[in-house]
Structure 1
Amino acid sequence: MTSHNHHATTSSSPDEPGAGATAQPPLEFWDELYKAKPAVWSGRVNANLASVAGTLTPGRALDLGCGEGGDAIWLAQQGWRVTGIDISTVAIERARAAAVDAGVDAALLDFATGDLETWSPDDELDLITASFFQSPVHLPRAEILRKAALMLAPGGHLLTVAHAGVPSWVQDSEHPAHLFVQPDREIAELALPAGEWETVIAESRTRDVASPDGAPGTLEDSVVLLRRMG
C-alpha cells in the first residue's frame, strides 16, 4: 500500500504517486517494489501524522498500508496498541524487524499481511491512520477507508494524509489527477453517515523537502481528521 512511506513503475521517488494505473496484481506490484530496494521508505514517522496523532489520547489503533512500519512503530512508542497491515509480505517482514530494532513492546504492536478489500479488524478502534494510502494498481481506497472508519468506537478518529499534487520539481507531470487527494473530495468520497462525524481537520499542507537532485522543494499533502461522534 502507499505509505510514506508508498506508485507506478515510472515513479522516480517513493514520495511521488506513480503515473498511470496498471493491471498488475497489487500483491505482485508491491512485493516487486519492495524487493527492488533494501529500504523503500525513510523509517521515520510521517510528520503530519505525528503532529496530529500526538494530540490524541492513546488507545487502539490501526495503520492501513503500513509499509515498512514507520508510523505504526511511532504510534506504539507513544503508547498506542497498534496493528499495522499491508498487502506486501516483504514490507511486513521489514516492519517486524524494524520494530524489534526499535525495542518496541511486542504487546503494543502487531503487523499483519492482508488484502484490505477483504480484511477487517476484530475489535472497535480508537484511531485509524492511512498515510499516502494511494496506489497505481487496483486499490478501492474510499471503500476500504469507509469500512475501517465504521469500526471506530464513539469518539474515535480517522486520520488520512495523502499526496495532494505533484512535487514542486516535477514539470509536465504524467501523474493522473485521480491519484491525488483533496481534503473536501476525501470527505465527500468517504460518504460516511450524515450527522455522525465531526470534521476536526481538513486542509492542504505544504512540506519543505529536498528534491532528488538535492535542491529545495515542496510537497503538498492533504490532511483530514474525522471524529466519530456519540
Structure 2
Amino acid sequence: MSDPFEAFESALNLNSESAPVNNDFVDPAAEFLAQQQAEMAKIENTGFDAFGDFNAVASTKNENAVLSSGFEEEDPFGTVTSAAPFQPAQTFDEPKNNDLYSAISSVDKLTNEPETMKIWREEQKKRLETKDAEEELKRKEWKETARKELDDWYKNRKEQLEKKHADNKVSNKAAEAELAAPRDTEPGKEWEKVGKLTDFNPKANKNVRDVSRMRSILLQLKQQPLVR
C-alpha cells in the first residue's frame, strides 16, 4: 500500500516545476510605499537610505507572490485553474506638508475677511438704517396728511348737508304757502301756476324716464295758454 503523503509531495513537485516563474512581477503595495517614502525624503531633505532598503523588501514580496501563485487547483476533469490575482489593499495618501500649509492658509483667507469688505458692510448697514428711519418718518407724515384730508372731507360734507337741509325747508315753506293761498279765478293763470311747480332745468340722469317732451309742452302752455 503506497503512502498518501508521498503522492501529495510528488504532485506538489510536478506543479512547482511545470508552473512558469514570472520574475518581472512587481508588488503594487511595495512600489507605492517606496514612492511615498521617496517623496517624504525629498520634502525633509534627507537621504534615501534613511528609510531602509525597499528593493530587498520588494524582492521578498515578489518571491512570496511567486510561491503563492505556484499552488494551482486541479479539478477531476483535468483542467487547471490558477489562483485569484493579487489585489493590494486600498491605501490613503497622507497629506504633504505643503498641502497642509496651503489648506491652513486657504481657511485663514476664508475666515479673515478683507478690510474693504468690512468697511462696505458697515457702510451698507448704516445706509439701510438711514433709509429705514426715513421711511418710518414718511409713513407717519402720510398718515397725518390722510387723517387731515379725511377730517376736511367730513367737515365739508356736513356743511353741504346742513345747507341743503336749510334750502329744502325754505322751498317747502314756500310751496305750502302757495298751496294754502286761494286759487286764482282768472283764465290762463292755471298753466302759469303749473309752470312754477315744474323744474325746467333738470340734471341729466340715465336712470330715470325721459320727460323732456312733457316739460316742453308745459313750458309752451305757460307761454301760450289755451283759449276757449
User: What band does the TM-score fall into relative to the shorter chain?
Assistant: under 0.3
Question: Scaled by the length of structure 2, what TM-score is found?
Answer: 0.17
Name the structure where strand makes up a greater proportion of residues. Answer: 1
TM-score normalized by structure 1? 0.17
| Structure with higher helix content | 2
Asked which structure has the greater CA Rg, the reply is: 2
Structure ranking higher on relative contact order (CA contacts 8 Å, 6+ apart): 1
